[in-house]
Each structure stands twice: as structure tokens, then as C-alpha cells.
Structure 1
Amino acid sequence: METPDTRSAAHPLDLGGEAGDDAREVRRQADLLAQLLREAIAYLDGEAAAAGVDAARAAEGLRPYEELSADEAEFLARAFACHALLENMAEEVTGRRRQAEGRSAGASRAVTLRGAVEGLAKAGRSEREIAEALARLRVAPVFTAHPTEVRRRALVDREGEITRLMALRRHRLPPALEAEAREALFREVALLWRTRLNRPEKIAVADEIRNVLSVVRQSVLPAVAALYADWQGLLTDAETPPVLSLGSWLGGDRDGHPGVDAAALRTALEAQARLICDFYAGELRALWRDLAISSGFAEVSAEIRELGAAMPDPSPHRRDEPYRLALEAIFDRLSAVSQKLTGQPVAFALTPSQAEPYDDPEAFIADLRAVAQSIEAHGGERMVGPRLKRLILAVQAFGFHLLTIDLRQNADVHARVVAELLARAGAVADYEALDEDARVEVLLAELAHARPLRSPYLDYSAETAKELAILDAAARALDLYGPKALGAYVISKAAAVSDILALLVLMKQAGLARGGARPETRMRLSPLFETITDLEQAPDILRAWLALPPARAIVGQAGYQEVMLGYSDSNKDGGYIASRLHVALAASALSSACLENGAALQIFHGRGGSIGRGGGPAAASVMAQPFEVIPSRMRWTEQGEMISRRYGDEESARRRMDELVGAVLSAGARQQISPSEAHADRLARLRKGAFSAYRELVYDNAAFEDFFWSATPIGEIAELNVGSRPASRTKSRKIEDLRAIPWVFSWTQSRFMLPGWFGFAGGVKRAGLTRSELAEMAHFGRIFPALLADMELALAQADMELASAYAELAPDQGAARAIMDVIRADYEQACELAVSIRRGTRLLDDRPALAEWVQVASDSIAPLNRLQLELLARRRRGDDDPRLKRAVEFTVAGISAGLRGTG
């Protein structure tokens, strides 16, 4: 087979006239939005301005941009970015229609929990076996504040309104309504054109909390409530257990983030409590409007009369409406809960409550159940209605805390704080100088008794004081909000058993852990293994941990051991292939380590949105877990722009969560078949070969670091006001010190997509794998096919002609050309291998709808890339005009929108 042509004019995805109905629909919708944007520019800025944008978008090459003034460049960048945003919305509308019709991109109908249960029943599983599987099932998306959301909240809201209006126009409207809908759409597009695309300064942690909670309030809350309502009846003789919960890192993730402290944790908890209490209050008000049942026409239970007596309504018109009186009493106690947790009554309360607050969510649920049972007893189940049932299910899922917050900190910070506490207490002079065995001995001795190391009479360093303060805040939060308010304490950069024990010693200082013969903790301990070396060592570390008496007591208390696996840093460390295969190998070995010690394993997947950071189709990734891993318990991160894209509307949020819960149940019930020794050997050879090929270019080539900083917009990305977290852990230019997000972000912008594929072809060559062996691996394996499918998407999104143009920005062109030769050769070979392994003819021809979307996106953002190249060239020449900086930011936003992702 010939190597696919990688030029933009003949991209491996070029479908010519073969585009299907979905592609034509996307283009039709995109053409309408583009026309409306042109109208808006002409209406607001003049016909000449609109014509100039048209001419620039139609131009080829870089020459048309070389003569632009700074003002013209900024104007064009904003226009191009808006075009990309609107074309992305066109695809979004078409995609939702496609999913609503029961189709997805080249695949069968999405997995759901109900479908998974029905599948188990058809496979011969008994109701008892299905009930046991559901009882074990625990799935949780965890929202994080990773800085990958380029769009401002105002833009996200504007996009939501435009997509809503576009969806409305799907229906055949009368001419008058069609004209009205088009005019409303024009106004929204014009408002988008007048909306600032970039942030003038970095957002604060409180802003990130508000942004994510706005998505939770708008779509996630109603989606979860609707899902639980839909899942009722899955079992004949029992209620569906709480299989789905929600987590968050907002206010708790301190790793490399100086802005997250005890105050941030309190802010997050209070904001969540306020949101959920207000949500419940709104539902109670709606129930109050519905339940105007008169005692003259229906009996009520004694419990309802007792509830109503506690809150007499002064209106004579409601004295015979016992359910309304009971709901007023429930509302008043809920408002008292809000006052206790946030200092404010619920949003709909006219005055502060004088009632006794509920002690816990269970007491609130008991009153709601009393209402439901009374209605059913004196009118039948059909009289209860869905709203009350959904409210009860929502309280079961969210309590008064809404999202379960994890804490996270780097193991190095823990070591420094423990060292200071030990030294100030006179126990150990220099803990950090000890070897691993000595550290473990010291820490076990500290955990053997209840005495704390900290003293209220000593002053500690700022770092130690800050860490102790957030631990104290966590302990108070558990007292105030309940045991589900906080979840896991994630230990970043975990590399030894002492890293786990050090955290236990710190938690003991705040009452989050108790020492003695059988230690206890109020939070789970979750070591995070991120680099290739850490992933290789993880099973031995876990075995050593589980062999310790404190571990056996703590894991026995929780019922399982959680381990977090990092996709992002392992990718930056060893490349896409080595990262994915090492994560899978670690998951398998960790599962075996837990089984050997009589413990269950819960894997927490630290996945980003892009292929290079562990992204890809969610259900497929769950089903691709190693055979040895039985994923009945699973958590995964939802980061940055993926939160608004996957959860921005109720239907999308519902579909995403239902699919993942269904996939985990299906994967947990699959037949356990171990791969052959030959298959495992081939994967091991590929893993080592790909790691070697990647490291040879990225870390062993002395010229690569300068190439990266000059041939990608990494410097400009580091200056973006995307999130509150710094782009690098230090001020170093070393790739080792750069965070994974800007690393992937930069390669995405410059169209290399390198973290999503590089190392595969070189790894195959070093491993000595034949085409027939690769085809056999793809046919019989579980991990390798998913890896290939995700890689093929990254290859399709790459554009080597544009990437080569970015490489020309490098000052040392001799070194740049040599590096590009390596990258281009690996790309061409990877394209040829990916297609030939599955016996295709071009990239993604087995997934035509996805191929069509990538083609549309590539066409949309090509002008943005060309303009960005000219802007970067000027900045590289020393032009620091702030208008050019803003223009670069606009191109970054537009390219991110077109590719539906950043890093």
C-alpha cells in the first residue's frame, strides 16, 4: 500500500464527493451560520470589513497575511475564530440530531445501564446475580479545574443559545416563525461577534468553582435525577442502588497550585451546599404548587398531620391542605440547613428560618418519603408523580454536599511538612535524609500511637502552616457536611510506601486519621502513579503497602484500595504508545496485587480530553480495560473544556453518564480470558520499542527543546489567561518541568498532534513486529484495538504541511529540518500501518461520520493556522504589539474550537 499523501490539499481524510448525509447537513448548517456572521460583520462594521474577511478566508498560503496591519490582523483573527466557533456549533447540532435518532459516528446505539442489565439477562444471568453486580457497581465522574477551557463562560452560554435555536429550526416552521427564528439567530450571532473572546486576566479559583457549578446546576443535577428515575424498575424486588455519584477537585487540588488553600476548600463546600439546597427548595416549591390536595377529599397519614402542625399556615385558604402545610415545614427545615452550612437561608425563603435543621440527608429523605407514602396510601402510586420521586433520588445522590471533593497534594510537599513536624517535635532531625526503610520505620512508629506531632505553641513555616490549615478545614468539613463531603486524598508523584505513610501521619495531626493498633481514616488514600517509572514500580509499592498492618486495617475499613493512574504525565514522559500500554499493564498488575492481599481495587483514571492525555471514546476505553481488571468500581476525571462539551446540556450529560455506567457494568460482567503469552510478549516489545523511539527524539536530542519552544506557540499558551494554575511547575524551560496540558496544547495548535501518535512506527520497527502479528494483536486483543482507534483519530487531525510551516519558525533550520524528517517519517509510516492493520484504504474510512467531522474541522481552521503562523513569526522577530498578542489569543481560541479540544 502506498503511503497516504500528507499534504493539506490531499489529506488522508479527503473524502471528495463521498461525504455522507451528516457531512452535508453539517456544511448546510455551517453555511447558514457563516452567512449570519457575515451579515453581522457587514451590519456592525461595514460591507468592506465583511468582504475583507471573505477574501482572507479564501486565500491560500501565508502571503495574504504578511501585509496586514496589527489592527487588521486582530480583526481577522477574531472573525476567523468566530467562524470556527460557529462551524463547531453546526457539527454539535448535527451530532445531537444523529444521537437522538439512535445513531452515532460509525457505531451502534450507545451503551446504557438499562441496556447493560438487559444484556446480562439475555446472557442468562439471574436477577440475583444482576442485583449483586449492581450492588458492587460504583461509578463517578470527577470534575477538575485543569486549565484547558479557552472559552469564557459568556461564550459558552452564547453557544448554548445558538445551538438551541439551530435545533429549533430543524422542525419545519411556518414562514413567519421561520423568519422570526432566523432573526433571533442573527441577533445571537451578532452578540457573539460583539463578545470578547479572551480573558483580560487569569481567573481565580473562586471563578473556576462558579463556572463548573453553573454547568452542574444547569444540566448535571437534572440529568442525574432523571437517570435515577429511569433506572428504577431495573430490579423486580429491589431499588436500584446508588451506582452513580459525582466528584470534584475544585477547592481541593493543591498540587502545584498556590491559590488553593483552606479558604478555597471552604468556598467550594459552601457554594455546593448553597446550590443543592436551593435546588431542593425549588423542587419543594413546585411540589407545593402541585399538592393542593384537600383533606375534605382525601385522607392523610398521621405523620403528615404532625409535620403540618409544626408549620401552621396563616392563610385560611390552606388550612385543609395538609400536604402543603407539611411541605412548608420541610422547606423551613431545609432552609435552616442552608443557614447552618452557608450562613444564608435558601433562595426562595422570605425570612430566616427558626426551625431545627435536619441532622443529615436521611432525615430529609424520611420526611419526603412520608409525603410519598401518604399520597400512595390514600390515592395510589399514580398520584405520587415523578417530581417527588426524582427529588428523593436526588437527595440520596447529592445529600447536602452535592459533589464529593478530593484533596490532592504532591508527595514531596508531604515529605517536607512531615520532616519539619518531626524536627520541631525533637523526634527526627532530618527525615528527608533517611533512606526508604528508615522513613517507613519512623512513620510506622508515629502511627503506632495517638499522640500528635504538632504543637499549638510552635510556629511553623508558611508551607507547613498552610498544609495543616487545609487538613483542619477538611476535618471540620466532614463534621459539618457529612462523611460524603470529602472523598479521596490523592498523593501526586507517589513513588514509595513512605509517601502513603507520610500522608497518614499528616492526617493524624488534624484528626482525619487515628493512630494505634488499628488505624482509621476519614478519607480514602489514593496514590497517583504518573510517570513511566512510577507506573512500572506501582505494583511493588502497592504490595509493600498492603502488607503493612495499618494498610490492612484501613483498606478493610473502606472495603477496597483506590489507585489513580495518570495518562498525561506518562505520555509526556514516554509517548502515547508506551503510556497507554504501561497504564494497562499497571492496572492489571495492581489488580493482581490487591487480589493477593484480599482487597478489591478501584481505579481512578486521570484522563484528559485529548488523545495525548488519555482521551477518546469513553465506553470503548472502559471495555478496553485489561482482562485481569474487573472494573465494578471506577472513577475518572472530567477536565476543562470537556465539562461544558460533555455536560453542557441535560441530554448530553445524561447520555455521557448513562453510557459510562452501562459500560462499567458490562465490562465487569465480561468473560475473563487472559491474553496468550505471545500476545503479551508482542505488547511488551512494542511498549519498549515505542518508549525508546519517543525518548530518542524528545529527550535525547539536544536540539529538540529549542525546536519545541520555537516551532509551537508554547510561549504564547503559557501567557494565556485560561486557568488559575501556572503552566509550569518551575520557571525552567525543560520539558520535564512543563505540565502535560500546555505540552499537548502546543502540539495541537501547531497541528503536529505529536502526543497522540509519535513513537508507534518507530516502536513497531524496534520491536520487529510484522504486519500479520500487528493484525493478530488488533483482532484478538482488547487494549491494542482501542489504542489504534484513538491513534488513528490523532493522525487524521494532524497536518504535516502546516506542521512543517510551524517548524520554519525555528531559528536553527538545520536542526529543525532534521527533527521534521524524523517526525514526518514516523507520521507517514504510522498512517500506513494504522490503515493496513485493519485492511482499510484511508484514515477513518471505517468511521465515516467521524471522518467527515475531521474534514470539516480541518477546512475550518486552516485559515486560523496560517494567520497564527504569521503572527508568531512577527512575535519571534521581537514585535511585542499588544494587538498581535490578542490576535494570537483569538487564533488559539478558534483552533481549539475547531478541533473541539486543547490539551
Structure 2
Amino acid sequence: MRAGMSYFHETIWKGVPRFMRRVDTALKNIGIDERVPNNAPLIQFSSWMGGDRDGNPRVTPEVTRDVCLLARLMVANLYYSQIEDLMFELSMWHCSDELRVRADKLHKSSKRDAKHYIEFWKQIPVTEPYRVILGNVRDKLYQTRERSRHLLAHGTSEIPEEETYMNVEEFLEPLELCYRSLRACGDCSIADGSLLDFLRQVSTFGLSLVRLDIRQESDRHTDVLDAITKHLEIGSYREWSEQQKQEWLLSELRGKRPLFGSDLPQTEEIADVLDTFHVLAELPPDCFGAYIISMATAPSDVLAVELLQRQCHVKKPLRVVPLFEKLADLEAAPAAVACLFSVDWYRNRINSKQEVMIGYSDSGKDAGRLSAAWQLYKAQEELVKVAKQYGVKLIMFHGRGGTVGRGGGPTHLAILSQPPDTINGSLRVTVQGEVIEQSFGEEHLCFRTLQRFTAATLEHGMRIPVSPKPEWRALLDEIVVVSTEEYRSIVFKEPRFVEYFRLATPELEYGRMNIGSRPSKRKPSGGIESLRAIPWIFAWTQTRFHLPVWLGFGAAFKYAIKRDIQNLEILQEMYNNWPFFRVTIDLVEMVFAKGNPRIAALYDKLLVSEDLLSFGEHLRANYEETKSLLLQIAGHKDLLEGDPYLKQQLRFRDAYITTLNVSQAYTLKRIRDPNYHVHLRPHISKEYMETKPANELVKLNPTSEYAPGLEDTLILTMKGIAAGMQNTG
């Protein structure tokens, strides 16, 4: 968590006001003299670090609580240092009457304990009104910081909550008073300097730095409610129909009785869910953002969270966001949301605003990239229609990963390829941990990232995206069926696939290593279905075969062209004139440029059993055929013909990545077969001396189950290949 938050301290903190100044300049250049209001941040940040408990046993209620308090402590420290800088800067005596009256009142009633501050600040004369105001802000900010520190260290604090800042509006009010006074007195250049930047930082980051989203799997809420209904002896919630669940949930939501007491029998899992809601009730509401329900399938999933929030006395309930991930859930999402909107109680609860998250990772793992991309597009169209029908403003939350197989890609193109009317000035996206360095690692990268998101969101609203022609829709609807069948027939139905996947990739070793923030599987005993999308993509990326990205495209295009040769012209027209289809094809083309089937063949040769070698050859033939068809549709002779800069970059990286791939393949062979030895070529140099066996020289990781040095070598190759690919998992 500290590593993730460091991006705020190092780059985002300064990047936001710098970006806002550029927006002000852009507005002025087009003849708009007004700047973006100080209390209306263009961009806000949330985090899943410490809040995403979907299948992660390490994220406990205690972790969530500590992460929130640590974030509040960090932002208070940042504010504190800047307040002192402003006190040095705003030394003038001339001010508005409003500020003068406030400063006089504070000066007379001040009971400040000056021991916390350097000698210079012990006495602030009334002739320095801005410093008097800011000194009071500093004192209260100090109390706010210390209370968070005490709560984090000891669980309690002697500092009353009333002596701290309880909401960001209270913090902003004296700062805005100083700003108004400076401008009223003609000191506009001073007002629009550090103070304006600080106002914008406070509006953006609030008192919590980031709002923590909570994510939990829908099945965990079902377990809790099932335990409650059994305890009340009214049946098994899990066995009820969807209609029965909704009726019971709404009757409880409309009533006022407590649903359960301290006598509710609780397993460890049930206690974990309920304790999470108790943390939401305990901490200030501005610590939290949305409550995201992963694997959501029905309206009852949303109503269940609403009921649990109320029963656990969450003062300001979090907005509940269903996350539709698998292909079938995406297809059913519009009907589920329409059912929710038809409930009067729920419409009043959301105040005509609803956020819906769509998952790119699991939908791609479930049906392949082509089918997932098209279903995500159609689901958004239908969700927008439903929202318009009920007069609800819909905000789409795009759960994109860093790699193409999980919905990743260039930000600008990804946003512009969204369906019409699905953004409308508001967009929410995930920036995954594996690509956060590329987006926010340095101040100029942070600025460019904010610029890209803002520019693309505005452009999508001003330039209406191209809607697909009926014949384009019909063709795509037809070929995605073929694509899905091809993908599932290999990944889920082919009996040899699971064994081949585990032998031909470092998936098993990845799952045993301390890489990533969560276990690689939702259920330890499960197969491909329970494997998370990140290790699924990561494993294939390491071997540079990228199977989850391209599998299904070739069969779909081959079917379309074979059925009617004119379909090739239609597909080429779609590529040239429809941003969604063009971006989809371009991203797969980029993945082919990064791929190398000969490297995958090396992994097969060293790691795969002899009876599975023919299966690997079949997949590589499919790879080559798909690549050929893709180039035909794009009208390209070579990969990345339209992006020579990226093509050159990949060519430069290739030699280094290939070396790492060879090292990794042989390391995996040694790990799996300790008796295997690589025969070195004789050294040309006569000065070469025979070294002692590695076991005697290195013990890099004595706790490893592998031979000394092997695990460290494997991790280094994984990191190197991931860095070279720029898309990991």
C-alpha cells in the first residue's frame, strides 16, 4: 500500500495543479476567461489497495481500516507542510473586511499550544490577518493528523473528533476566504499562485487522499444473508428464487426493524464480511468511494449490499456498483439494471445516478477477446438505453487491465472507440498496478496521463462516434458465435489443454511465488475457470504466445470469408470506418508484433511431454493463420505497418527479451527436472577457470523449495520479459 501511495506523494500531488493550470490556459486560448472552479475537480482518484477483498484472504477489515487511516495521515502531512509555506508567503496586512473580522475574532479567542511549532510561530500579530487565519487552519490540521496517528497506532485517540476537520468543506472554507480577500484587494497574481494550487489539491484529494473502494464477491453476501434467514427460521436465502430474494430484501429495506443481533452464529467468513461493514460505519464517510460487487448477476446482489449497509449502521451508505464480468452476465446486465430501476425505493436511494462496472478481464477469459469486446460494446449500448428510459444518469466504470487480453491499450483510442452516449463527460477507469509506473511514474508521465484522459473524454462528447451499420452488426453477431465456440472448444473442452497450459508456461511456478497482490486462483482446487485473469494472461505473455488475445479471431474471419467472399470487403470497410473495430484489430496486431511462436516452440521442446507436442504445433499453426487473416483485413503487408515508431521499439527490445526467454525456459526445465544439466559450449578464452558448483557459491533464497538461485533467476526473467512486453497481466 505504501508503494502504491508513493505515486501520489511523488508525482500526482504536484501533477494535478500543474495540469489544471494547463486547462486554464487552454480555456483562455479559446476565448473563455473563466477558469475551472476551485471546488470542481476535473479528476478524482480512488484506490482498491486495502479494499479489494475479492478472493484475497490478506485483505481483512483491520487492513482496510489501517489503510484508510494511513492515507489520512499521509495527506495531512502533505497539507501541513504546504500550510506553513503559505503562512510564509501571505504576510500582507491588507485584506477584506470579512477576513479582518474573522482574523480579529480568532486572535482574541486563540488558545494555541505553541510547543508544537518552531519559535517563529509562537505569536502571530493581528496585523498579519492571513497568517492568523492559516495558523488556525494549521492547528486544526495538526489535531486531525495526530488523531489519525493515534487511531492507527493504538486504535483510540484522546483528541475529540470535534477538534479535527470532519469534512473537506470545513477545511476549504477559510482557504477560500483568503482567496476571495486577495482578489478583492487586487492581489490576483498572489491569489492565483500557490494558494490556488493548494485549493485545487484540497478539492481533489480531500481529507483522505484517495477514496477507498470496497470490492467483494456477490457469493459472500449470499452466505451472510443465508445465515441470517436460517437463524430467523424463515428458510434458506440461497435456495430462494430471484423474485423471492427481491421481495424479502425490499420488505426489510422498507422496514425499520434490526435484522440480526449479537446471537447470530458466524463463521470466520461471515464475520469477515460483517466486520468490513462495521469498519465502513466506524470511519469517516469520505474515506470510501464505491462498494463494488464482483460476479454480480442479478438485482438481489445490489439490494443485499444496501440491506447489509443499513443493518451495520453505515452512516452514509456507499454507492453500490454491480460488476458484470462473464459473457452471460454482460448479456443479462441491461435486464438486471432495468429491474433495479423499476423499484421505487431503489430509484429514490440512488437519486437518479447509477454507476455500473463492466469487466474486461473475466469476459475475455470466458469467451475470447473478440466476443468479449463485442458483448461489452453491446452491453453498454443497452445499459444507456435503460438509463434513459428511467431518467437515470449512468456512469460506466471500465475495469480494464494492463494487457490487451484484459481490455488494455492506448487510453485515447480506447475511449474514442466507446459507443455513442456512453461517456457524456463522465468516465471511470482502472489503472492496474502493472502499468501504473508507465502512467504515473514521473511527473511528466502523470501530466500526460491526465491530459489524455481529459482530452479523449471531451473529444468523445464533442465528436459523436460512428455507429455501426446494420450489416456490420449482423456480420459481427454471426462471427462472434464462431469465435466463442473456437475459443471454448480449445480452452474449456479440449482435454489436453489444461495439462499443456501448465507445462508450456510458468503458470504453476508463478502461483507458488510471492508475485502479485492476490492468490492466483479464486479456489485453490479449481482449473482454468477459477484461475484469475491476471496469471492467465501473464503466463501466456511470458512465453510470447499471447493465446488469450488472438484465439478465436482466425476461426471467425475464416468462417466469414469462406461463407461469402464479399464479407472480406465488409470487414475491411469496418476496419477503415468504425473506430471500435479498428482499435480491436490494431491491438491484436500489436500483440502479434510482440509475439514469437518460435519462442513458444522452445518452451514446448524443453517442458512439454512428447504426447502434447502435436497439440502445441496445432496451436502455432492457428497463430500463423490468424495473423495472416488479420493483416488481410487491415490491408497491411507487415505487422505494425501503420506504426513504424512502435515497430522500431519492439525490434530494439527483441534481442534482450529473447535472451530472457531462453534463460527462463532452461530455468523452468531445471526446476521441474533437477537432474537436467545444460551442456555449456567450450570457452574460447584460455583464462577461463572452472568454477565451483552453484550450490556452494550462492544461496540467494534459503527458504525456496527450489535449488539455490533458480527461483531468483526465474523471478528476474519474469520481470524482464514483463518490462519488455510492456503488457504483463
TM-score higher than 0.5: yes
Closer, same or farther: CA 305–836 of 1 in aligned 2, 3 Å:
farther
Q: Secondary structure at the match of 1:488?
A: strand
Out of 186, 205, 216, the position equivalent to 1:409 is 216
Structure-2 residue corresponding to 1:109: none
Structure-2 residue corresponding to 1:303: 102
Structure-2 residue corresponding to 1:201: none
Aligned: 1:797 with 2:594: yes
Structure-2 residue corresponding to 1:832: 628
CA shift for structure 1 position 275: 1.2
For the residues of structure 2 that align with 1:340 and 1:399, how far apart are their CA atoms?
Answer: 17
CA shift for structure 1 position 870: 1.0
For the residues of structure 1 that align with 2:102 and 2:317, how far apart are their CA atoms?
Answer: 35
% same residue: 30
Q: Secondary structure at the match of 2:293?
A: strand
Aligned: 1:609 with 2:609: no
For the residues of structure 2 that align with 1:573 and 1:824, how far apart are their CA atoms?
Answer: 21
CA shift for structure 1 position 310: 5.0
* Residue pair 2:585, 2:634 contacting (<8 A) in 1 also: no
For the residues of structure 2 that align with 1:585 and 1:433, how far apart are their CA atoms?
Answer: 32
For the residues of structure 1 that align with 2:559 and 2:256, how far apart are their CA atoms?
Answer: 55
Q: How does 1:231-242 map to 2 (within 5 A)?
A: 231-232=23-24, 234=27, 235-237=32-34, 239-240=36-37, 241-242=40-41
For the residues of structure 2 that align with 1:857 and 1:271, how far apart are their CA atoms?
Answer: 39
Residue 499 of structure 1 aligns to which amino acid in structure 2? D
CA shift for structure 1 position 647: 0.7
Structure-2 residue corresponding to 1:882: 708
Q: Secondary structure at the match of 1:400?
A: coil
* Residue pair 2:483, 2:552 contacting (<8 A) in 1 also: yes
Structure-1 residue corresponding to 2:311: 509
Task: Give a deviation string over 1:795-843, Cα, whole Å, max 9, x none.
Answer: 110001001111224543333323432x223322232233332322211
For the residues of structure 2 that align with 1:354 and 1:632, how far apart are their CA atoms?
Answer: 37
Structure-1 residue corresponding to 2:685: none
Q: How does 1:671-820 map to 2 (within 5 A)?
A: 671=464, 674-732=467-525, 734-767=527-560, 768=563, 770-820=567-617
For the residues of structure 1 that align with 2:303 and 2:130, how far apart are their CA atoms?
Answer: 53
For the residues of structure 1 that align with 2:442 and 2:257, how far apart are their CA atoms?
Answer: 51
Closer, same or farther: CA 730–672 of 1 in aligned 2, 3 Å:
closer
For the residues of structure 2 that align with 1:733 and 1:443, how far apart are their CA atoms?
Answer: 32
Residue 504 of structure 1 aligns to which amino acid in structure 2? E
* Residue pair 2:99, 2:177 contacting (<8 A) in 1 also: no
For the residues of structure 1 that align with 2:398 and 2:108, how far apart are their CA atoms?
Answer: 51
- Taking CA–CA contacts closer than 8 Å with sequence separation of 6 or more, which of the two structures ends up with the larger relative contact order? 1
Task: Give a deviation string over 1:646-703, Cα, whole Å, max 9, x none.
Answer: 1111211121022102211221232365322101111212321211111121112110
Aligned: 1:265 with 2:64: yes
Aligned: 1:357 with 2:164: yes
* Residue pair 1:332, 1:353 contacting (<8 A) in 2 also: no
Residue 801 of structure 1 aligns to which amino acid in structure 2? R
Structure-2 residue corresponding to 1:333: 140
Out of 640, 647, 657, the position equivalent to 1:844 is 640
Unaligned runs of 5+ in 2: 153-158, 676-705
Out of 470, 489, 497, the position equivalent to 2:291 is 489
Aligned: 1:217 with 2:217: no
Task: Give a deviation string over 1:279-324, Cα, whole Å, max 9, x none.
Answer: 111111221222333679x997333444455558876996354433
Higher mean displacement: 286-295 or 353-362? 353-362
What is the number of residues matched between the two proteins?
675
CA shift for structure 1 position 223: 1.1
Out of 227, 230, 238, the position equivalent to 1:432 is 238
For the residues of structure 1 that align with 2:388 and 2:616, how far apart are their CA atoms?
Answer: 46
Residue 321 of structure 2 aligns to which amino acid in structure 1? S
Structure-2 residue corresponding to 1:641: 434
For the residues of structure 2 that align with 1:244 and 1:562, how far apart are their CA atoms?
Answer: 16
Residue 21 of structure 2 aligns to which amino acid in structure 1? A
Aligned: 1:498 with 2:290: no
Q: Secondary structure at the match of 1:527?
A: strand
Pairwise CA RMSD: 2.6
CA shift for structure 1 position 866: 0.6
* Residue pair 1:728, 1:738 contacting (<8 A) in 2 also: yes
Closer, same or farther: CA 489–850 of 1 in aligned 2, 3 Å:
same
Structure-2 residue corresponding to 1:663: 456
With normalisation by structure 2, the TM-score equals 0.88
For the residues of structure 2 that align with 1:731 and 1:353, how far apart are their CA atoms?
Answer: 46
* Residue pair 1:418, 1:505 contacting (<8 A) in 2 also: no
Aligned: 1:290 with 2:290: no
Higher mean displacement: 786-795 or 719-728? 719-728
For the residues of structure 1 that align with 2:171 and 2:105, how far apart are their CA atoms?
Answer: 15
* Residue pair 1:338, 1:344 contacting (<8 A) in 2 also: no
CA shift for structure 1 position 274: 0.9
Closer, same or farther: CA 354–460 of 1 in aligned 2, 3 Å:
closer
CA shift for structure 1 position 353: 11
For the residues of structure 1 that align with 2:186 and 2:51, how far apart are their CA atoms?
Answer: 47
* Residue pair 1:409, 1:490 contacting (<8 A) in 2 also: yes
For the residues of structure 2 that align with 1:229 and 1:649, how far apart are their CA atoms?
Answer: 18
* Residue pair 1:408, 1:491 contacting (<8 A) in 2 also: yes
Q: How does 1:159-178 map to 2 (within 5 A)?
A: none
* Residue pair 1:300, 1:378 contacting (<8 A) in 2 also: no
Out of 494, 515, 525, the position equivalent to 2:320 is 525
Out of 51, 68, 76, the position equivalent to 1:252 is 51
* Residue pair 1:530, 1:570 contacting (<8 A) in 2 also: yes
Out of 335, 341, 344, the position equivalent to 1:549 is 344
Q: Secondary structure at the match of 2:213?
A: strand
Residue 780 of structure 1 aligns to which amino acid in structure 2? N
Structure-2 residue corresponding to 1:372: 179
With normalisation by structure 1, the TM-score equals 0.71
For the residues of structure 1 that align with 2:373 and 2:60, how far apart are their CA atoms?
Answer: 33
* Residue pair 1:493, 1:529 contacting (<8 A) in 2 also: yes
Q: Secondary structure at the match of 2:638?
A: coil
For the residues of structure 2 that align with 1:830 and 1:572, how far apart are their CA atoms?
Answer: 18
Closer, same or farther: CA 752–782 of 1 in aligned 2, 3 Å:
same
For the residues of structure 1 that align with 2:60 and 2:425, how far apart are their CA atoms?
Answer: 33
Structure-2 residue corresponding to 1:854: 650
Structure-1 residue corresponding to 2:370: 577
* Residue pair 2:416, 2:465 contacting (<8 A) in 1 also: no
Closer, same or farther: CA 811–900 of 1 in aligned 2, 3 Å:
closer
Q: How does 1:42-81 map to 2 (within 5 A)?
A: none
Structure-2 residue corresponding to 1:11: none
Unaligned runs of 5+ in 1: 1-208, 346-351, 514-520
Higher mean displacement: 370-379 or 841-850? 370-379
* Residue pair 1:759, 1:826 contacting (<8 A) in 2 also: no
Q: How does 1:152-231 map to 2 (within 5 A)?
A: 209-231=1-23
Out of 244, 251, 254, the position equivalent to 1:445 is 251
Q: Secondary structure at the match of 2:427?
A: strand
* Residue pair 1:575, 1:755 contacting (<8 A) in 2 also: yes
For the residues of structure 2 that align with 1:409 and 1:362, how far apart are their CA atoms?
Answer: 30
